[in-house]
Amino acid sequence: MLLADIGGTNARFALLTGRSVGMIAHMAVGDYGSFHEALGAYLAGLPEAETISAAILAVAGVVRNGRCNLTNNSWVVDAAELRNSYGFSTVRMLNDFEAVAWSLSGLPPEKLLALGGGRPVAGAPLAALGPGTGLGMAACIPHAAGRLVLSSEGGHSTMAGSTSREDAVIAWLRRRLGHVSAEHVLSGSGLEHLHEALAALDHVALPRRRAAEITRAGVEGTCPTSRAAIDLFCAMLGTVAGNLALTLGARGGVFIAGGILRHMPEYLVGSQFRARFDDKGRLRGYLEPIPIWLILDQDAAFVGLHALAEVEGIG
């Protein structure tokens, strides 16, 4: 069985043989004009390609009728086209953070970094969110027959400020973007938006920087505006994560995924992230015991895809 995790920046492929996931191939989306080109390049190097009978694909976008136009790149993934082109008997597509949510009960402790809180409440919902190319969200709800996983487009909900500084940043971005979603500030491009807004508000002349440059300069302390941008990023993520936990009643725990924060785990621990997560007025006592973990495994989605294949008997 083919497993794939298709994001806005990276595409990852692996084969599931029996109960074992093979080596995961990492490919840059920008190197290929379409999903079919990337998949063809991956399969071309596999002697087992002709024996693949089914596929489960996690895709970074909304899946409608077995088709997904990815949110943050031009690729289109269509289940019917894959069945016709490659002879797969079954093609299952799901949102990429839905796949992450399927992984939550199967991630080993060494792949998780604790970010405060107490012990998870058994049987309570679990939440996953994460800033990367976009801002993904999903939920895992245990029940008597196993678990129910819910996909979400909550990353596109309206972003609200918690301080006058954040209000000013959002107002500046609103003039540029119109609607300002959580993803507009909590993603790779969102970090760039924060950097640009802060520079403008502080009347500092700076070149436009990519997210990786902002992260590096902020962590190293070589650029005050970059440091301010990642501080704001961590704080606003805490607010959004707390909102999600309240909305879902996620007393089973909150899991942070996505590529950005894996590159700055110590900084996240020392940031305002946890304080802002807990800062919900009368509900502080509800949120403080909720455990939060940073997922350190960049391939966590494959743990979830494997779990889904076993639960649904795909293959």
- Interval 228-269: pLDDT, tens: 999 999 999 999 999 999 999 999 999 999 889 999 999 999
| 195 has a pLDDT exceeding 70 | yes
Q: 271: exposed, middle or buried (C-beta count within 10 Å: 0-12, 13-18, 19+)?
A: buried
Question: What is the crossing angle of helices 211-220 and 224-248, to 10°?
Answer: 110
* pLDDT score of 47: 87
* pLDDT score of 250: 98
Q: What is the mean pLDDT of the chain?
A: 94
| 315 has a pLDDT exceeding 80 | no
What is the mean pLDDT of the segment spanning 198-207?
A: 96
Q: How confident is the model at residue 206 (pLDDT cuts 50, 70, 90)?
A: very high
Question: Rounded CA gap, 295 and 107, in Å?
Answer: 8
Question: Residue 242: which of 279, 191, 285, 271 has the closest Cα?
Answer: 279
What is the mean pLDDT of the segment spanning 57-75?
A: 91
Question: Rounded CA gap, 93 and 59, in Å?
Answer: 7
| 222 has a pLDDT exceeding 80 | yes
Question: Rounded CA gap, 278 and 115, in Å?
Answer: 12
| 4 has a pLDDT exceeding 70 | yes
* pLDDT score of 73: 86
Neighbours of 299 (CB within 10 A): 15
The answer to whether 250 touches 152, Cβ cutoff 8 Å, is no
Question: Rounded CA gap, 303 and 38, in Å?
Answer: 22
The number of angstroms, rounded, from the C-alpha of 302 to the middle of its chain's C-alpha atoms is 13
Q: How confident is the model at residue 45 (pLDDT cuts 50, 70, 90)?
A: confident
The answer to whether 185 touches 236, Cβ cutoff 8 Å, is yes
Q: How confident is the model at residue 180 (pLDDT cuts 50, 70, 90)?
A: very high
